Structure 1
């Protein structure tokens, strides 16, 4: 019985040792995953995304109840309109004073001409100048008051408009949309459920931009550089394997202990460096799929 076990293990060791030289590192495929969470609280009225759906970035796929926010916006718009209605019409309110000043100026020119001919006195001209001074002072004071009132009303209106903008922002956050173009990997909520701020609704990943996260030992670092081409072999199971061209896009600045599920060329090494390798996905590569890396010469 013992001899049978030994004979059964030896072929496996031979295969493992022979296969060990065919790659420089191994890892699993991953993609940029985004968990889309609710940005508003309320009942989910619609949620059309399903697992496996391909979504466009920013396209609405659901909505959270917005009735109260919409009513709040209407109320603020009515308030803003009421405040604006109290804005004074400066030109109309000072029209009477301007007309009096114009008449006094006409009278002054008449008296000034009469004074030249000796038909009027200097006192008459001084009286008109005094009246003009009073009228101009009244005009300046009224203009100042009206401008201050207008500025105050404009400030109040601006404050209300900012509140309206805040409500509109909260309304926009009631839309459920993916910030990236990608595939729905998981759906965590359904229409009719109550959403709270921060509650996960779905997970989306861009499977068109997929990476292999592989681990290299410290003695391999000298041969790694950003942009270096490599050959990635994806293992689909059942003996089906396919090679893909790739290039290094990221190299970890710090080492870490070898993950238990990862093989390296030197399995005795305790510390390894993570490396991301970009691979063009032909539609067959999936997240979590096992892959091997061979550094191109």
Structure 2
């Protein structure tokens, strides 16, 4: 038709372009049919496996970060105070939350060096609290191995008498006492 001058050359170019596009679509459909009939290519499987491994690593990292940023109390209790507000920087070793623990309270006392030899873990201790008429019986659960102040090897005989050792006494019958009360502890009379 172009040779006979019944159609313009641009119409010939458009027809050729439409034919080439249709051939390309046919080839793409044939490849898609081959892919569906033969199954997925190994490259696609490898790519999907790599994406899965990457996503699994991201999940593991996020779970680890969450675990690092999660604070879990060592015992049941009631939240007493949060010293910091959201967004504030907390110094290393800073107190993040103050809990009032459920269960039996305990007393922290200092045992003088001169009386230390008379105390053993498990001993019954009589604890007198200001404002409470009768004393409580407690059990000595822990005594520090090191003095609360100057090390013993740097002191002479007179200075050693001023050393004190931190100790903790369980008070199972004193659950109604608030924390922070002053007290006095002595070995129970037998």
Structure 2: gaps of 5 or more residues = 1-34, 151-159
1:76-126 deviation line (CA, Å, top 9, x unaligned): xxxxxxxxxxxxx9x9439xxxxxxxxxxxxxxxxxxxxxxxxxxxxxxxx
Which structure: greater helix fraction?
1
| Contact 1:218–1:273 under 8 Å retained in 2 | yes
Counterpart in the other structure of 1:271: 163
The root-mean-square deviation of aligned C-alpha atoms, in Å, is 3.8
| Contact 2:127–2:135 under 8 Å retained in 1 | yes
Counterpart in the other structure of 1:204: 99
Mapped to 1, the partners of 2:38 and 2:89 lie a distance apart of 52
Return the TM-score normalized by structure 1: 0.39
1:242 lines up with 2:134 in the alignment: yes
2:119 to 224, 229, 244: 224
| Contact 2:144–2:165 under 8 Å retained in 1 | yes
1:29-57 deviation line (CA, Å, top 9, x unaligned): xxxxxxxxxxxxxxxxxxxxxxxxxxxxx
| Contact 1:235–1:242 under 8 Å retained in 2 | no
Q: Which 4+ stretches in 1 moved above 6 angstroms?
A: 171-177
Q: For the structure 1 residues 170 and 248, does the alpha-carbon distance in structure 2 shift closer, same or farther, using more than 3 Å as the test?
A: same
Counterpart in the other structure of 2:7: none
* 1:166 Cα deviation after fit: 3.6
Which structure: greater strand fraction?
1
Mapped to 1, the partners of 2:70 and 2:141 lie a distance apart of 34
Q: For the structure 1 residues 201 and 229, does the alpha-carbon distance in structure 2 shift closer, same or farther, using more than 3 Å as the test?
A: closer
* 1:278 Cα deviation after fit: 1.0
1:251 to 143, 146, 149: 143
1:286 lines up with 2:167 in the alignment: no
Mapped to 2, the partners of 1:196 and 1:176 lie a distance apart of 16
Counterpart in the other structure of 2:57: 162
Mapped to 1, the partners of 2:100 and 2:44 lie a distance apart of 55
Q: For the structure 1 residues 228 and 171, does the alpha-carbon distance in structure 2 shift closer, same or farther, using more than 3 Å as the test?
A: closer
Return the TM-score normalized by structure 2: 0.56
Aligned length: 143
If asked which structure has higher relative contact order (CA below 8 Å, sep 6+), I would say 1
Q: For the structure 1 residues 214 and 188, does the alpha-carbon distance in structure 2 shift closer, same or farther, using more than 3 Å as the test?
A: closer
Q: For the structure 1 residues 290 and 207, does the alpha-carbon distance in structure 2 shift closer, same or farther, using more than 3 Å as the test?
A: farther
Q: For the structure 1 residues 281 and 203, does the alpha-carbon distance in structure 2 shift closer, same or farther, using more than 3 Å as the test?
A: farther
| Contact 1:257–1:272 under 8 Å retained in 2 | yes
Residue aligned with 2:133, SS:
strand
Structure 1: gaps of 5 or more residues = 1-88, 95-144, 259-267
